[in-house]
Each structure stands twice: as structure tokens, then as C-alpha cells.
A and B are shown apart, each in its own frame.
Chain A
Amino acid sequence: MTALRKEMLRIALFALVVTVFLSSASSGVALNFVMMALYAALLAQAWNILGGYGGQFSFGHALFFGTGAYMQAIAQMQGGLNPWLALPLSAMASAGVGLFVGALSFRYGLKGSYFALVTLAFAEVFRIVALSVPFTGAGVGLMVPLREGFANMQFDSRRGYGFLILALVVLALSVTCWLQHSRFGAYLQAVRDNEDAARASGVNPFRIKLGAIALSGAFMGAGGAFYVQVFQYLDPGIAYGAHTSVEALVGAIVGGMGTLWGPVLGALALHTLADLTRNLFGQLPGINMVIYGTVLVLMIMFAPRGLSGAGKSLRALWKGRTP
């Protein structure tokens, strides 16, 4: 258990450093940057649970993001629910959608590109449904009324939202850390590495993958709920559009799939890159996605194990050279 304790200590240290930064930073730009990077880290970590540890590549994680986001908005606006109660509910709703999609696709043994396609198709179906039914506000979208105050989970600056997203990221990191050291996590990685061998050893791959997609969906849904709290507006394109699916996936892959800190690292690197280009070229439509796509292709070409993997090989190289 010492390895687990060491990792938990690192997570606590990370939380402390970010807390100190959030409390002391005064520039709105810096606060916004940290908040958005943490938000991207949450999405990437959510994808990482299913994609990195479970080996199931979803191309439609917006499915869970959008479901959580709509749940958060609708529970407040139509159910009159407090946002603090709505958030866990949103995460649960997304986990439920995850169970549904997972049960359908894993029952029939879909994997690899087939699984990627089915998640993509489900996200698209949900987008079209959200465009056509009245309670999502259809194409007009939903506007969450402004009611500033801690009780309503609406803060007067990015600082408050920064703490909220930090709490979610720390929770995601802790769960991932548990995943690395628990029986369930070991089963999951066994299924990823060789499903037949895992089955032969008495693991039930269907159940394990189902657990992973529900967990992954829950964090993605929490990300969606957070989005609604910060931006207070939602439409089918934002909720179920491909952009979010891509952001989650690229963050995890750039940082390093199946690692604890990879998604945080990847999200931070991507956001730094996106901010730099914005400063260089100004706000151009699509430029962010061009960068994300290019980085994705380049990483897979030259560093398929992500930034943390590349770091490891560099360290090994260094150690090999010095006697």
C-alpha cells in the first residue's frame, strides 16, 4: 500500500499547490486559464478511465457530457433543484447512459473501431433528439437564470469555479489512483491487454467494462454539469457536438493513456498551446481544433505513449548514460 499512499500524497500536494495559486492569483486571465485547464483535465481523465485503462476508445464522449449538462440545467430550471444536489444527479444520469450504451455494445462484443463508431452514432442520435424535443429548448437552447451565490453554485469570479473544478479533478485523480491499485482496476487492465486471457482467468469482461464506462460517464457528466454552471447556456451543438469528444480524447492521448497524471499533463499542455496561438494569431474560428488535430497526429507518429511516456523514455535514456 505504500505506492498508493505515495500517489495520494502527490495528489494532495497537487491540490495544495493549485489551492494556493487560486487563492493568491489576482489576474482574471490566470484564474480563467487554470479553471479551463482543470476542466479539460477532468474531461481527459474521464476518457482515460475507459479509453486508457479499459482500452475501449470512445469517439463520442460528448454523449455523457451533454447528458450531464442537460440534467444539470433541466433539474434546476424545471425541477427547482439546488445545483449542489443536481450535480451528483447529473453524474448519475450520465453513468446511466453509459451503462445503457455499454450494455448494448459490450453484450454484442463490439470493440475497436466498432465501439468507436457506436459511441459516435449515439452522440449524434442524442444531438438530433435534443434538437427535436421541447424540454431541451431545441435549437434555441437553455439559459440558466443568473442567481449569484454559493448556495446556487454561481460564483462572482473564476476563483470560485476554480475551486469547484479542482475538487472534481482531485476526486477523479483519487478514483483513478484507486483504479491503479484495486482489484477492479487490475481486472480492467487485464481485459484491456488481453480479453480472452482475462476471461480464462475468471474475470467477467462484460461486467468490468460496464463498470468502467459508468465511471467514465459519471465524470464526463460532472464535467457537463460544471460547464452549465460556468457558462449558464446550453444548446444541442455544445452538449453533444464532436468538439467535447475530441477534447477529452486528445487530452488523454497527448498526456499518456492509462497513466494517472497523463490527462492533467495533456490538458495543461494543450491549453498552453491553444493560449499561445490565440495570443499570436488572435481568435480565429477553428484554430484550436487545427492544433488539437495536428498535435494528435504528431503525438501518435512520434510519441504514441504520450508526454508522460516520452518523459519516461527520456529519463531511462538519461539514467542509461550516466553510470
Chain B
Amino acid sequence: MLDLGILFPSLLNGLTTGAVYALIALGLTLIYGVLHIINFAHGAALMLALYGVYFLKEQLGLDPYLALPLVVPAMFVLGYGLQRVVINRASHGRDENILLVTLGLSIVMENLALLFFKSDTRTIDTAYTLTTIPINIGVAQAMISLPKLVAFGGALVASALLILIVGRTDLGRAIRAVAKEKHGAKLMGIDVDHVYAMSFGIGLACLGAAACFLLPAYYVNPQVGNGFVLVAFTIVVLGGMGSFTGALLGGLLIGMVESLGGLILGESLGQIGIFLIFIAVLLFRPQGLFGAKT
């Protein structure tokens, strides 16, 4: 029934999508690891980034890949500002408040987009949108579209960069210190509010990169973030909250599960597979596959 000729392209397709999922989930897991909150506005922020890429292409003719140096810093600034000006002030030191504020922000962003850009689904046209590249491994062969291949490579490079920043730089050291013990970090002279905002900014910058890689083979509408947000949550929970390796592997895994689920069960029921994994992991192994038991 399911021979290699169908299975292999589907797996490969899932792997490329999964890499972008992983990048989005990395941003989410960084924010969670440091601030210990779930950023419900993650999907809405991705949607804004996608619109940014879209308008840069449509208004200025800027290629999505060349938009990277614009969109990534812009998203960083947005994240830094949101954390400093809104989220930090609204928290009053309570996690539930942050949860509700990010939910509120996501509602505002999504519906402002609906208000200004209407509910139309928009796509961009590039010279390489329909280019495909053959891939052969042994007897298995598949045609994979070029933007997806670029997205796969780009997402992996961006993820590696993020892990390097957090693992090897002074800023990364400060981030890890605050994540572990914020009072201790404060006593050591680390500006905790600044580190919070930097983490939020970097988390959103990941979305900027993801948006640039996604759009050539994807679309944008005001609700587009919702599809990603639960998937990203699933990955973060599956990989273990705050774990980078977990988010990376979880992203690739979920991408393949979604692709195979869609192949076997049909598109909409395939999505259910993800949610069921999500609920099952939350219930039975909330520390995730790679997370430390608390």
C-alpha cells in the first residue's frame, strides 16, 4: 500500500517543515526557559513577521531571503520592547498575569491584522517558488521544492547560531544564569530585566528568521499563527520545556508525524495526531523527553 515512492517524499517533506517548526519552538523554549512563562503571543508574532516579509516583497520587491537582515532585527526590537514596556510592567511578579498578558497581546495582534489586512490569504511569487530538486538516497527518490530545502538548511543554521549564542557568549551565560537563579544573578550584577527582554527579543528574532524561510513556500493570513502555535507548544512540551536539543529533535519529529499523519489519515485528522501527542505528553511526561525531572 504505502511503498517507498510515497513514503520517502512524505518523510522528507515532513523533515523540511519540521526544521522550521524547530526554529519557532526554539524561540518559544528560550523564552520559557528564562522567564518561565509560556508566550501565547508566539503565533501572532510569527504572523506579524510573515506580513513583514510579504509587504517587503510586494511593496519594495525585496526577496524574502534578502529580507532576513531587516526582519530579524525588527522582530528582536519588537520582542525587546514588548517585554520591557508591556509584559514586565503587567506581571506584578505573578506568572498568571504574564500568561494572560501574552494571551491579550496575541488577541490584539491577530485582530489588528484582520482589521488592516483583511482575512485574505496572501502568497508571494518568486522565481524559485516552483523549482524542485531531485533527491536520491539508494532506491528512495523524491522531488523536493527548492524553498523547502532552503528553509530546512536555513532553519538548521539559525538554530545552531542560537545554541551558540546561548552556549558560548557572555550574554548567553547571563541568560543561563538568570534562567537558573534570578536572585543570585541579580546579586552578581546582572541586569535581570535586561536579560529578560533580550531573551524575549531573541525568541521573537527566531520567528523573523522562520518567517523569511517560510513565506516562499507558504502563505500568510491573520490566523496563520494559530496553526503554528499549538504545534510549537507540542514540540516544546515534547522536547522538555527549556531544552534546546529537545526542541530541535522534537521539531523534526513532529514535522514527520504531521506529514505521515496527513498521508495516512487525511489533512485535518492528521493534525489531530499532533494534538493527541501533545495531550498525552502533557499528561504522562510533562517534563518532556529531554527535560530534567523537577
Residues in A lying within 8 Å of B, measured CB to CB:
57, 59, 104-105, 107-108, 110, 112-114, 116-118, 120-122, 124-125, 128-129, 131-132, 242, 246, 249-250, 253, 284-290, 292-294, 296-297, 300-301, 304
Contacts and interface: CB of A to CB of B under 8 A. Distances in A.
Given A118-B279, A121-B279, A112 B96 contact: yes
Contacts, number: 123
Interface of B: 37-38, 40, 86, 89-90, 92, 94-97, 99-101, 103-108, 110-115, 118-119, 222, 226, 230, 233, 237, 268-269, 271-272, 275-276, 278-279, 282-284, 286
B269 A285 contact: no
A253 B112 CA distance: 22
B267 to A, nearest CB: 10
A49 to B, nearest CB: 17
Contact of B107 (A112, A131, A289): A289
A107 B233 CA distance: 21
B178 to A, nearest CB: 19
A132 B269 contact: yes
B90 A297 contact: yes
A18 B97 CA distance: 34
A285 B279 CA distance: 32
Contacts of B110: 286, 289
Listed from nearest, the 6 A-B pairs whose CB atoms lie closest are A293-B107, A286-B114, A286-B111, A293-B108, A296-B104, A289-B111
B37 A292 contact: no
Contacts of A297: 86, 90, 101, 104-105, 108
B100 A253 contact: yes
A117 B104 contact: no
A22 to B, nearest CB: 32
Contacts of B226: 242
A129 to B, nearest CB: 7
B15 to A, nearest CB: 24
B115 A286 contact: yes
Contacts of A107: 283
A276 to B, nearest CB: 17
Nearest to B271: A128
A301 B89 CA distance: 6
A131 B276 CA distance: 16
A121 B278 contact: yes
Given A293-B104, A297-B101, A287 B111 contact: yes
Given A118-B282, A284-B115, A294-B108, A113 B95 contact: yes
B92 A285 contact: no
